[in-house]
Copies of this chain bind each other. A is one copy, B any other.
Amino acid sequence: MPGTARRADRPADRLPARAGSRYGNRPTMKDVAARAGVGLKTVSRVVNGEPGVTPDTERRVQEAIEALGFRRNDSARVLRKGRTASIGLILEDLADPFYGPLSRAVEEVARAHGALLINGSSAEDPEREQELALALCARRVDGLVVIPAGDDHRYLEPEIRAGVATVFVDRPAGRIDADVVLSDNFGGARDGVAHLIAHGHRRIGFIGDMPRIHTAAERLRGYRAAMEEAGIPVAESWMSLGVTDPERVRRAAEEMLSGPEPVTAVFTGNNRVTVTVIRVLAEQPHPVALVGFDDIELADLLQPGVTVVAQDAAALGRTAAERLFRQLDGTFLTPERIELPTRLVMRGSGELPPAR
């Protein structure tokens, strides 16, 4: 707990003491000019590598830059060079383990192309997504991989026209035509639910994320399709969509599992929902079948093992990033939608028969 933090003694400062606010304390070109005893334009010439400065003056300016720790404007340099060798990745949630392998795959591709990756998180807030995307563009990333929180990406059109490569991943872009790399969310959910039906279940619950999220809506559509194909009418009380917060998910699961006609199986719409439902099912008096969308670590070591519809998160990231660099190389001319298949991994929980 931070409240009980201990503070160890340290040797005396080797850096200057920090007094007063640092905001606004960074050295400017004016400070460099004053220290070097030259005009602002001369500093600008040196910083920008323009001609018209004597070697002696240039040395004085460089010394002042070094002494003050002045950093010339990186974006200006980049503008002249024409490339920054950096790409941005906008995630939805830094703490969701699904995005770990996806981010790492994007980074590996970026590194193979000699580019740095900078990330940010929208925290599922469309305004934050836009703020972050434009902030990264202003910092001259060559391209953006976006896991969108919003459904209107027209704000990116000027950036795309200005040459920023853009690929959406996990969820499609809204109101603009852009490359998108997705899992087969509909097909994966339909297969997972059909698997439960094949094991004798008819009363099957669906617990998913907020319906405005593309993946959540697609997976619900897959659930409905599987039920319809099997001729099973779906009760409203079997479906619950909302935030993936553990309390909300627990309540939803407990409601479906109580009453005169409880569900005998649950299909969970993503890994955050699955981990909570696993806990609820462990407390039930009799076994309840479970198939979850997304694989989870240690799912095979639980008893029963958790049957999942696995996405290949690393392949999503890799495919999106490779596509981004192909855009930057000018290989493709038309935005495309690339859909990656999912994989049903049977481990026990999805093969349980209905209780009683």
Q: State the A residues within 8 Å of B (CB).
A: 1-2, 4-8, 10-11, 13-29, 66, 68-71, 73-76, 79-80, 82-83, 86, 93-97, 100-101, 103-104, 107, 111, 116-121, 123, 131-132, 135-140, 142, 157-165, 176-177, 275, 278-279, 282, 296-298, 301-303, 312, 315, 318-319, 327-330, 332-341
Query: Given A7-B338, A298-B298, A83–B23 Cβ distance below 8 Å?
Result: yes
A252 to B339, CA, bound (A): 40
Closest CB in chain B relative to A270 CB, distance in Å: 14
A93 to B104, CA, bound (A): 8
Additional pairs, 8, CB under 8 Å, beyond known A2-B318, A86-B135, A298-B298: A2-B340, A15-B157, A15-B161, A69-B162, A71-B137, A73-B73, A94-B107, A118-B118
| A–B Cβ pairs within 8 angstroms, 16 of them | A5-B340, A10-B335, A10-B336, A13-B177, A26-B163, A28-B80, A29-B79, A69-B162, A71-B137, A97-B97, A118-B120, A278-B298, A278-B301, A297-B298, A298-B298, A298-B302
Of B24, B76, B118, B338, which is within 8 A of A6 by CB? Answer: B338
For A73, the closest partner residue in chain B by CB is: B75
For A154, the closest partner residue in chain B by CB is: B14
Of B73, B160, B312, which is within 8 A of A76 by CB? Answer: B73
A282 to B301, CA, bound (A): 8
When distances are taken between beta carbons in the complex, the residues of chain B under 8 Å from A278 are 298, 301
Are A100 and B94 in contact (CB-based, < 8 A)?
yes
When distances are taken between beta carbons in the complex, the residues of chain B under 8 Å from A95 are 100-101, 103-104
Are A334 and B4 in contact (CB-based, < 8 A)?
no
